[in-house]
Amino acid sequence: MSSRTPAGGVSFAIVIPTIGRISLRVLLDSLARSGRATGIALPAVYVVDDRPGPHPSLELPPVPSRVSILGSAGRGPAAARNVGWRAADTEWVAFLDDDVVVSEQWLADLIGDLDQPSSVGGVSGRISVPLPPGRPPTDWERGTAGLETARWITADLAYRRDVLRQVGGFDERFPRAFREDADLALRVLDAGYDLVPGERRTEHPVRPAGWWASLHQQSGNADDVLMDRLHGRDWRRRAEAPKGRRPLHLLTTACALTVPIALVLRHRSLAGAAAAGWATLTAEFCWRRIRPGPRDRVEVLKMLTTSAAIPPAATWHWTRALLRRSSPRSGPERESPARRPAAVLVDRDGTLVKDVPYNGDPSRVDPMPGAAAALKRLRQAGIPVAVITNQSGIGRGLIDRAAVDAVNARIDEVLGPFAAWVVCPHTDGDGCDCRKPMPGLVHQAAHRLGVAAADCVVIGDIGADMGCAQAAGARAILVPTPVTRADEIRAAPRCARTISDAVDIVLAGAY
């Protein structure tokens, strides 16, 4: 789907990741109002449902546009946006968060914003945060208001699709709605493109927040560690992202930890000094948050409790991430997500599990050596994994579909969960498009995952697996077994000894 301006200019689509918040309906209503106010037909809208596991279907208001609902299986906003832009076939992709409201002139202003020279890779919208009148804003409201001056936030930001493809899209190693936008922007700038502000206006209301919302935000400290590794220590200056209070949080936590240690070692004076340091730093932090706010009883109590909990929480997330990423920094080619695939499609028999001809017995499922660990590494890297498998026993009448599904369910229990299962039940004589080495299974899996076939890597054990990948325009890695013929090994575009070695190739971007 695509949409062109009335003047025949650029085409664009809209991508909205969501976790099912009611604010999505408000956003879609505002887009419809903008269409009516400007007389511009809404373009293709891709709503990407990022809720994990079984959940009720999204209930959307009537919108005068073809709205496609895709899924990203709870892999985070970076993955959801990747699913959305890869499904689009337009020159530009405009990203909106599901809790914003666009202005009535937004569509017309967006079209104007996208009229840019080829040197411009992205155009940001102008974000405003309405604050309650008649009283000072709370700590949470002030934090949200900071979005007005933040750089490159994807609450409203449009990128050229070719630029997204060139740099690899959003890095799915960022699991939260934090830093994934700055990381992408820095990579786009490094690729030689400009990012410029636009004229379109978008409102970002303050979301309701629970008592411990500010505490939960401290998980973002882990993402700062990843930013350091990917972009070096200078990234904060480039992204205009202040360091904040982390050094003071570390000092506060160190004082708190020193108190019990000093008491155990009977250094009472040291324990007293550490306790005084902790109390002073915590009181200063608390007052800094209370002073500009409404200072009502609820806000003061919330600041007192969270100000004591935030320093150790921030320190914990930062330290844990630092230890997990303590290996020497890899080169930029290895760290960049640009060479990582959008999805990995894996053959079943002989690749994931030992080949039992026409198996209909779940108890006979036996994983290939190293398969579980290899799949775990792909999932930890944020790469969705689907299974594509020929099951001609169904077409031959040797096994029924229910038995195949039962075996697949067992494999999902042992090695999953997989993002999708795609099965061809046909025989050679059926003339279908999906039996490997035909490309149909790859195309079906890519469609189910919301990615392009060309952005996938197929891992299999025979020539038919390689053939279906090449026919669909995907990459392929052969993991030979004793049944793999010598000519299939010679013809394979890439070989690996084991599935673990194949995953090494995928993660290194060497496929």
Active site residues: 347, 349
Query: Taking Cα atoms as reference points, which of 317, 153, 150 lies closest to residue 240?
Result: 150
Cα of 451 vs its chain's centroid, Å: 13
Find out whether 184 and 193 touch, Cβ atoms under 8 Å: no
- How far, CA to CA in Å, does 37 sit from each of 33, 99, 272, 291? 6, 21, 66, 43
The DSSP secondary-structure symbol of 331 reads: P
- How far, CA to CA in Å, does 67 sit from each of 10, 70, 95, 98, 492? 20, 10, 14, 14, 40
Query: Taking Cα atoms as reference points, which of 287, 298, 308, 81 lies closest to residue 209?
Result: 298
Cα of 333 vs its chain's centroid, Å: 20
CA triple 92-13-46, angle to 5 deg: 135
Residue 209: how many CB atoms within 10 A of its CB? 17
Residue 55: how many CB atoms within 10 A of its CB? 12
C-alpha to C-alpha distance for 26 and 204, rounded to whole angstroms: 12
Residue 352: its H or E element: none
With H, G, I as helix, E, B as strand and everything else as coil, classify residue 200. Answer: strand
Residue that the structure tokens 């990917």 belong to: 230
C-alpha to C-alpha distance for 258 and 110, rounded to whole angstroms: 55
